[in-house]
Chains A and B, each alone.
Chain A
Amino acid sequence: MRDVAVVGFAQRQMEEFDGSPTCVELLVPLFAECYEQTGWTRRDIGFWCSGSSDYLAGRSFSFVQAVDAIGVIPPVNESHVEMDAAWALYEAWLKIQTGEVDTALVYGFGKSSAGTLRRTLSLQLDPYTMTPLWPDTVSLAGLQARAGIDAGLWDERAMAEVANRSLTDAEKNEYAIRKGGSSVEELLARPMYADPLRKHDCAPVTDGAAAMVLAAGDRAREVCDRPAWITGFSHYVDPISMGTRDLTRAPSAARAAAAAGTEGVEVAELHAPFSHQELVLRRELGLADDVVVNPSGGALAGNPMFTSGLIRLGEAAKKVWQGDASRVLGHATSGPALQQNIVCTMEGRN
């Protein structure tokens, strides 16, 4: 395997982006930030890969115009996944591993506010036996949360602790759209929303975009004092069925963590759009109690669809760049109730 590192990262998150669903105008400044961080121009990028969703945008081929933000004369080596951009990063990492290219810029974008997000996501379900009932994302997460409460694996207090820590940490995150912790008691005193979930247990609807730069070997060292070297990158998927799955578990996350190797991880950025999902993930990833989880505030502070996973990886990489940690983990999820999971571990080297 080639040594590949994250050497650039930029993001934007907002409650409501007033621009077009192609998000071109959001991407242009993000790419500029990546160029500034690396000293590169678009011509130094060997491969481009993006993640986005037609249904989020409400039209076919919503990603097509996004390539304008790159500037594509001369044409570029480029691909797209209909997944969170964390998986686009995986495709780019693969491309570098084949030896075809040495550098890649990966981006994700999505305007969740264009439609009714929790309803739109019902279209991810089994189209014959589920979607016609329009089970919304929050309801499906509620079923999962209750399953864990009933099984005695967590309780409302544990969920509130996650939310409180996230919202407190988010105060230091300039991109967070929901922030401000108080106390577990205060959060528990707030009204139920989708029993057993309170609003702060659910990620806010968020628009946004993110971009990340990968580079191999010396190309990484040339542009970054302390690159975040990828030491493990793995992803798996579980069946979608809410009935046959044990909702308190996420075997695909456990498998991805085992394959990526989580030993020695000091900081983990977990993509948990609902508070109880962080509890599921901590267990499945086998994270020790002293691992710092979601210092950015995590998805509960901002969850731009198709980008939030990549942002988790970016937030983790930043900890390496800044010298705050030597070994970090970024995680992304997709599908209802943690169906699909990807884990990327990174390390700084001296």
Chain B
Amino acid sequence: MAKQPAAIVGIGQTHHRAKREDVSMAGLCREAIDRALADANVSLDDIDAIVVGKAPDLFEGVMMPELFLAESLGAAGKPLLRVHTAGSVGGSTAIVAASLVQAGVHKRVLTVAYEKQSESNAMWALSVPVPFNMPVHAGAGGYFAPHVRSYIRRSGAPTHVGAIVAAKDRQNALRNPYAHLRNPDTTVESVLASQVLWDPIRYDETCPSSDGACAMVIVDEDTAAASPNPAWIHGTVMRSEATTAAERDQVNPQAGRDAAAYLWKQAGITNPLEEIDAAEIYVPFSWFEPMWLENLGFTAEGEGWRLTESGGTAMDGTLPVNCSGGVLSSNPIGASGMLRFGEAALQVRGAAGEHQVDGARRALGHAYGGGSQFFAMWVVGADKPSN
């Protein structure tokens, strides 16, 4: 049995900031939801089901916050699901929402992912000491920095490649009115001059901590007919592996490689570098751009940094990556994956505004989480898939 066609016809996001002190959690979500509904030209009453995604509940200190949010989100009297797959959750949530349509269960599904990081402190929430263990954990940066070091050693990449990514994404963010970080003066040199936080990761190579939300309306074929520019789902995938396992490749994880291979196959893509017009890849620390380029099969192993260094991932490059500014410019953790998925859809809808890639027809949305162990991805296209 084949999946029912599904398309994204509405996308909304908040203005992401370090502290959105002007809104409650419900207000934050509704800002994104209302924009998505307006974009889709539907009302909450038209929605059949709602799928909520969010990273750890400790961030906001609310257990299963979708329960208290239900009425504000318009979910009362409707089916409501809450997905949590670590950092990949924004992507996984979109995929679960899509599957409600692809399974033929619902016609119009609203999905929203959010994080209000300013309610607490992510470093704290991710580093609550475990008894008997060595308390060397230091948040996500501390977790990923050793693996970045491994990548540099394995690939022989010059040390400024991370700075190239950071400068590019921060410049891209200037074209995105919703982006959190807006610093026109960021250059490769300024990134290299910033403080080394988790050696080898510098301050300017890390994502900010943001409050924000993203929402999408995903609909069936009949409903999509009313949209001037639906983004059709050409493939979705989720893959997971262990955080730590003997001889696990933590630089180029098998789950990511497997996921990409399965995704390209579904979407009928044989040469992703040529056939994908824009990619929104989950890059919370700059070095993950070249790492994921390899993991996703855009380049051979060890060659990702060359594409970055050559400018191939810039707005005008072979493969524009994170034209929105990416996670490096806005990071409401639970929503960050959905922002990648949503920005990919905006590209193929021709609706990305100043960061639009001319003529983008097929785009990748990518998210990962945990210790580079949970992967969620989709390919969206301007054309209805033929298969």
Nearest A residue to B24 via CB reads: A128
Whether B57 contacts A54 by the Cβ 8 Å rule is yes
Known: A83-B64, A236-B80. 4 other contacts (CB 8 A): A53-B64, A59-B128, A80-B83, A235-B80
- CB within 8 Å of A: which residues of B? 1-4, 24-25, 54-65, 67-68, 70-71, 75-86, 92, 96, 99-100, 102-105, 125-126, 128, 130, 237-243, 245, 248, 253-255, 258-259, 370-371, 373-374
- Taking the closest CB of chain A, its distance from the CB of B98, in whole angstroms, is 9
Is A158 an interface residue, CB under 8 A from the partner?
A: no
Is A124 an interface residue, CB under 8 A from the partner?
A: yes
Is A335 an interface residue, CB under 8 A from the partner?
A: yes
Docked pose: A335 CA to B76 CA in angstroms = 13
30 pairs across A/B with beta carbons < 8 Å?
Answer: A55-B57, A60-B57, A60-B125, A61-B370, A63-B84, A65-B243, A67-B373, A73-B254, A74-B254, A75-B239, A76-B240, A77-B240, A78-B238, A78-B240, A80-B83, A80-B84, A82-B57, A82-B64, A82-B84, A87-B81, A91-B83, A95-B99, A100-B3, A123-B62, A124-B67, A126-B68, A127-B25, A128-B24, A239-B71, A340-B67
A97 and B80 in contact (CB under 8 A), knowing A64-B370, A121-B63?
no
Is A263 an interface residue, CB under 8 A from the partner?
A: no
Whether B81 contacts A73 by the Cβ 8 Å rule is no
Docked pose: A237 CA to B78 CA in angstroms = 6
Whether A53 contacts B258 by the Cβ 8 Å rule is no
- CB within 8 Å of B: which residues of A? 1-2, 48, 53-55, 58-61, 63-65, 67-68, 72-83, 87, 90-91, 94-95, 97-100, 120-121, 123-128, 130-131, 234-241, 251-252, 255, 334-336, 339-340
Whether A53 contacts B92 by the Cβ 8 Å rule is no
**Residue of B77, B102, B255 touching A236 (CB-CB under 8 A):** B77
Docked pose: A87 CA to B253 CA in angstroms = 29
Whether B240 contacts A75 by the Cβ 8 Å rule is yes
Whether A252 contacts B245 by the Cβ 8 Å rule is no
At the interface, is chain B mostly helix, strand, loop or mixed?
Answer: loop
Nearest A residue to B6 via CB reads: A98
Docked pose: A261 CA to B8 CA in angstroms = 31
Contacts of A100 in B (CB 8 A): 3, 99
Contacts of B254 in A (CB 8 A): 73-75
Whether A1 contacts B67 by the Cβ 8 Å rule is no
Nearest B residue to A125 via CB reads: B68
Whether B62 contacts A131 by the Cβ 8 Å rule is yes
Contacts of A59 in B (CB 8 A): 58, 128, 130
**Residue of A67, A251, A339 touching B240 (CB-CB under 8 A):** A67
Q: Which 4 A-B pairs give the minimum distances between C-beta atoms?
A: A97-B103, A75-B255, A60-B56, A99-B1
- Taking the closest CB of chain B, its distance from the CB of A42, in whole angstroms, is 13
**Residue of A63, A72, A90, A340 touching B241 (CB-CB under 8 A):** A72
Nearest A residue to B248 via CB reads: A73
Whether B239 contacts A82 by the Cβ 8 Å rule is no
Whether B81 contacts A55 by the Cβ 8 Å rule is no
Contacts of A74 in B (CB 8 A): 254, 258
Whether A99 contacts B241 by the Cβ 8 Å rule is no
- Taking the closest CB of chain A, its distance from the CB of B253, in whole angstroms, is 8
Contacts of B80 in A (CB 8 A): 235-237, 340
Contacts of A98 in B (CB 8 A): 3-4, 99, 102-103
Docked pose: A65 CA to B373 CA in angstroms = 11
Contacts of B130 in A (CB 8 A): 59
Whether A79 contacts B241 by the Cβ 8 Å rule is no
Nearest B residue to A244 via CB reads: B71
Whether A127 contacts B57 by the Cβ 8 Å rule is no
Whether A123 contacts B77 by the Cβ 8 Å rule is no
Docked pose: A94 CA to B70 CA in angstroms = 22
- Taking the closest CB of chain B, its distance from the CB of A23, in whole angstroms, is 15
Whether B239 contacts A77 by the Cβ 8 Å rule is yes
Whether B103 contacts A237 by the Cβ 8 Å rule is no
Docked pose: A115 CA to B102 CA in angstroms = 40
